[in-house]
Structure 1
Amino acid sequence: MGKNNLLLICETYTNFQKDPIDLLANHFNNISVFVKYNPIAEISRYISLPALIQHNSKNKIDLTNKPPNINVFLTPIFYMPFDSQYKALGNKHLKSVEKVIEENNIEFDLIHSHFTWPCGYVGAKLREKYNVPLVITAHGFDIYKLPFKDMDWQQKIQYVLNSADYIITVSKNNLDCINKLNVNTPVKILPNGYKDDLFYPMNQLQCKRKLNLPLNNKIILNVGNLSEVKGHKYLIEAMKEIVKFRKDVLCIIIGEGKLRNTLQRQINNNGLSKFIKLVGRRPHSEIPIWINACDLFVLPSLNEGNPTVMFECLGCGKPFIGTNVGGVPEIIKSNDHGLLTDAGNSHKLAEKIKTALDKKWDGKKIVNYAEKYKWKNIAEEIQQIYCHLLQN
């Protein structure tokens, strides 16, 4: 594959999309990464707008340790965050991508689109035009939600998936969703992973000191976009129950999103400002320190594909407390690695957190279990798919 060029159509060039791409760089002559981008979000770089912060160009691209043969391009599309606008993104995104291809004389032998819409649609149209193989990764909402919203969405996603030569998806739960559609393309389940040179066990006290966290408190950590599907309100409700039994707890929530002000009001109205802190967005390189400073990681999502933070948590040897949604129960199958509960139930979540706080966890056992989910192992399997398609 060393003489071939790869084209990536992505939502971002950060963490779970960037990490495997970087590991595959030495197998290609050149990799071009196209990142979908809404210029309207740039206003969040100058005015505090939590709903747009994660979408501005600064937070969509991470050039840290980028291999020299990877070139990253922004593909701008103006749109408002409404469902009707989202449906129309396919052709808008395609035009933006084709313009960048033409202006930069980009050549490619293989296309890989992350998310079925609109990146997958762009990949499907480019495959038709250039007659090169296409791989699509169906990550989460783009496969468990979009095709089941209405018949129009179903037809769009079916067209995209049937245009691909190979589909990757991150969980059996996602595969079950694909199997409900009229799709004949071969599918392989490859879970998300973690960078073991970034996420590994560190001294907890040193990490607490570095972050100025109370040394004697039990630290509960959550990392994720502040959106409804991540279930933060249930974590806050659960903390309200937990502090009735113990006061030595501090819950840290890392992330930005449109619910920031709503969640802060919930914290304040319940008198939990001493026990829950919204600390905003943090650089990806800083997240390992936060994970290593915590005693347990909690992700109360209402739905998921296969959350990358789960693997990062396990890679640091920390227990994962989550919900029985998406691919999560496919990974957390033993109480040695974490505890699961029903989504949308704050009382049951509080019980699991209390149990986890009292339990003596074996960090080494958790790290050993996480080994198979290193990104380098996942990237090897992606490479095998690429090789198969390029040889045919």
Structure 2
Amino acid sequence: MKVFFITNMNVDNNKGGLFNATYERMKMHNKKLRQVIITNCNVGHSTLVRLIGKFIFSKKINKNPDIKKCEYNGIDIHNLNLKLDVFSYFKRHFLKQSLEDQIVKKYVARFDNYLKSSDAIHAHWGWPNGYVAYKLSNKYSIPYYITFHGSDINYLKEKSKKKMITVMENANKCFFVSEELYANALKIGYTGYNKAITYNGVDLDMFRINDHCKDSGKKVVGYVGSLEEKKGADYLVDIYRGIDKKKHSVEFVIVGDGSLSQCLEEEFKKKATDVNVKFTGGINPDEVPITMNQLDVLVVPSRNEGFGMVVLEANSCGVPVVGSNVGGLPEAIEYTKNIINMDNDFTHNMANRVVEILEGDSLTQEQYRERVKRKFSWDHITDFEIETYKSLPND
């Protein structure tokens, strides 16, 4: 079976949760299927458009990439390389040709031979990738599937909802990474008749318990993720201060980059000078398991989260996670005491729960890991997806 994947796997950008979740799926599919074609739906801009954006609108605009094919950890990725120039914007605003339709045309021009020989199309990310899959499916008369990861449903623009619902209803299967995300899809008008839940998984060989990374003489609380408001990174100052007041000599780590990086460092200097906190910036994926194993507790204070793969990564290393009661996080965390409601006492309650764990958790490292092993294996998840491809007729 040959599957054509449409992804957002730009290897030059910061590789966050979406990239890693997609990569792990691609790695397993690459082993199990006869052939996979993995494409990165990347869009850039011409030099003139970037200059206009910089000097007229004071806006930084992405440069158009020109590498057609690259390799990442053993898998080949074909870049779409759609360049938006002045004529592209003319077509959008005067000829009413949408950006997504320009992407579709580029896919046909760039990957026609691959698509003609494919048995299925699978898009990761709803908009525009799911729409592109829908249009290509119609052109090449092959089934299509979509995996929704979170913000592609939760932050879908109003003007795109009607088209998105059409795309979802016509898909052979819509995969959602959590029950909560599926519930949110129902709220925008999706019927759910063709849905399936395929949680994100974790590489259990990569993320495992390694007590040699820990310093037994200290306690470490950490955050690993994008430093953005939707991830609740702005709560970290109050959470860490709350822990420090009750549990002295705790070390704090913040791993990641984002728009709040500088602001957070300034806030800690201003409001929490006594808190022993270290900012590492972004780290390579290979370093994440080492960092996880240095922690005693991970905090995930997100305002919105499709699922929360960082929870599984931490639990696989035997590290408990305290997180907010939003999106798919409760499904990922599972343990009720570690799920904190986002009310006026949110940061206070999160800090208290972390302290309770530091003073003696009721669950062992092995129990945290065993739960992940039982429910969130990439091998099991991709087997289910492949069986779904094979079971549905090519209409």
TM-score between both structures, scaled by the size of structure 1: 0.82
The aligned residue for residue 79 of structure 2 is 74
1:186 aligns with 2:198: no
| Offset at residue 128 of structure 1 (A) | 0.8
Q: How does 1:188-207 map to 2 (within 5 A)?
A: 188-203=196-211, 206-207=212-213
Quick one: distance in 2 between partners of 1:56 and 1:300? 34
Give the counterpart of 1:153 among 160, 163, 166.
Answer: 160
Quick one: distance in 2 between partners of 1:315 and 1:247? 27
SS at 1:101 equivalent:
helix
Cα distance change, pair 10–246 in 1 and its aligned pair in 2 (3 A): same
Q: How does 1:82-101 map to 2 (within 5 A)?
A: 89-101=99-111
| Offset at residue 34 of structure 1 (A) | 0.9
Cα distance change, pair 272–257 in 1 and its aligned pair in 2 (3 A): same
Q: How does 1:48-127 map to 2 (within 5 A)?
A: 63-66=72-75, 71-77=76-82, 89-102=99-112, 107-127=117-137
Quick one: distance in 1 between partners of 2:42 and 2:117? 22
1:380 aligns with 2:383: yes
Quick one: distance in 2 between partners of 1:91 and 1:343? 40
The aligned residue for residue 25 of structure 1 is 30
Cα distance change, pair 30–144 in 1 and its aligned pair in 2 (3 A): same
Quick one: distance in 1 between partners of 2:110 and 2:79? 9
Quick one: distance in 2 between partners of 1:280 and 1:65? 26
Report the AA paired with residue 380 of structure 2. Answer: N
SS at 1:9 equivalent:
strand
Larger Rg: 2
Quick one: distance in 2 between partners of 1:219 and 1:228? 23
| Offset at residue 65 of structure 1 (A) | 3.5
SS at 1:317 equivalent:
coil
Quick one: distance in 2 between partners of 1:61 and 1:253? 31
- For residues 248-271 of structure 1, the C-alpha deviation after alignment (integer angstroms, 9 at most, x for no partner) is 222212212222122222222223
Cα distance change, pair 264–339 in 1 and its aligned pair in 2 (3 A): same
| Offset at residue 289 of structure 1 (A) | 0.7
SS at 2:100 equivalent:
helix
- For residues 237-258 of structure 1, the C-alpha deviation after alignment (integer angstroms, 9 at most, x for no partner) is 1112222233322221221222
Report the AA paired with residue 167 of structure 1. Answer: C
Q: Is the 8 A contact 2:322 2:354 kept in 1?
A: yes
| Offset at residue 61 of structure 1 (A) | 7.7
Q: How does 1:303-318 map to 2 (within 5 A)?
A: 303-318=304-319
The aligned residue for residue 175 of structure 1 is 182
Quick one: distance in 1 between partners of 2:256 and 2:71? 17
TM-score between both structures, scaled by the size of structure 2: 0.82
The aligned residue for residue 343 of structure 1 is 342
Deviating more after overlay: 183-192 vs 266-275 = 266-275
Q: Structure 1 unaligned segments of length 5 or more: list them.
A: 44-50, 209-213
| Offset at residue 322 of structure 1 (A) | 0.4
Q: Is the 8 A contact 1:223 1:255 kept in 2?
A: yes
Give the counterpart of 1:366 among 351, 360, 368.
Answer: 368
Quick one: distance in 1 between partners of 2:245 and 2:125? 43
Quick one: distance in 1 between partners of 2:99 and 2:216? 48
Q: Is the 8 A contact 1:11 1:35 kept in 2?
A: yes
Report the AA paired with residue 349 of structure 1. Answer: M
Q: Is the 8 A contact 1:314 1:367 kept in 2?
A: yes
Q: Is the 8 A contact 2:149 2:176 kept in 1?
A: yes
Report the AA paired with residue 172 of structure 2. Answer: D
Quick one: distance in 2 between partners of 1:56 and 1:324? 39
Report the AA paired with residue 96 of structure 1. Answer: K
Report the AA paired with residue 116 of structure 1. Answer: G
- For residues 199-247 of structure 1, the C-alpha deviation after alignment (integer angstroms, 9 at most, x for no partner) is 11112xx324xxxxx6633111211112111001112211122222333
1:332 aligns with 2:333: yes
Q: Is the 8 A contact 2:228 2:234 kept in 1?
A: no
| Offset at residue 73 of structure 1 (A) | 0.8
The aligned residue for residue 48 of structure 1 is none
Q: How many residues align?
A: 360
Quick one: distance in 2 between partners of 1:89 and 1:294? 44
SS at 2:41 equivalent:
strand
The aligned residue for residue 144 of structure 1 is 154
Quick one: distance in 2 between partners of 1:40 and 1:278? 33
SS at 2:142 equivalent:
coil
Q: Is the 8 A contact 2:43 2:84 kept in 1?
A: yes
| Offset at residue 287 of structure 1 (A) | 0.6
Cα distance change, pair 191–184 in 1 and its aligned pair in 2 (3 A): closer
| Offset at residue 104 of structure 1 (A) | 6.9
Deviating more after overlay: 170-179 vs 105-114 = 105-114
The aligned residue for residue 47 of structure 1 is none
Cα distance change, pair 287–89 in 1 and its aligned pair in 2 (3 A): farther
